[in-house]
Amino acid sequence: QVQLVQSGAEVRKPGASVKVSCRASGYTFSSYYIHWVRQAPGLGLEWMGIINPSGDGSINYAQKFQGRVTMDRDTSTRTVYMELSSLKSEDTAVYYCARDPYCTDDGCSLTFDYWGQGTLVTVSS
């Protein structure tokens, strides 16, 4: 069965960086793009970007996070990573990876059919 398993909770101080991993199993890793979405405590969902786990690893970041977020992948371990730098208290959130069910050369469905369990990142001095 399709599974996205994320790394554990993290605590960071303001100004630091955090790197969250998302390991895929149960499907052909290279065939499905991965999104990152975050959710601040008690609040709604916010899209951060999308990465192609194969080929050139093309990426599209949400403008809000440009310059602070880096997404990467390791095809040998079927793992996608999201690193957020210059952390602020407002970055305290649960970070999710989620799979896009359908992508072609013309684009992706921009839908999320499977989600990781979430990783809580707490930013506090």
Partner 1 sequence: DIQMTQSPSSLSASVGDRVTISCRSSQNISRYLNWYQQKSGEAPKLLIYTAKTLQNGVPPRFTGSGSGTEFTLTISSLQPEDFATYYCQQSFSAPLTFGGGTKVGI
Binding residues vs partner 1 (CB under 8 A): 35, 44-47, 50, 60, 62-64, 96, 98, 109-113, 115-118
How many Å apart are CA 60 and CA 66, to the nearest integer? 9
Residue 15 CB, nearest distance to partner 1 (Å)? Answer: 25
Residue 47 CB, nearest distance to partner 1 (Å)? Answer: 4
How many Å apart are CA 99 and CA 62, to the nearest integer? 17
Residue 16 CB, nearest distance to partner 1 (Å)? Answer: 25
Strands 93-99 and 114-115: antiparallel
Identity of the residue, 35 or 73, whose beta carbon is nearer to partner 1 in the bound complex: 35
Residue 46 CB, nearest distance to partner 1 (Å)? Answer: 7
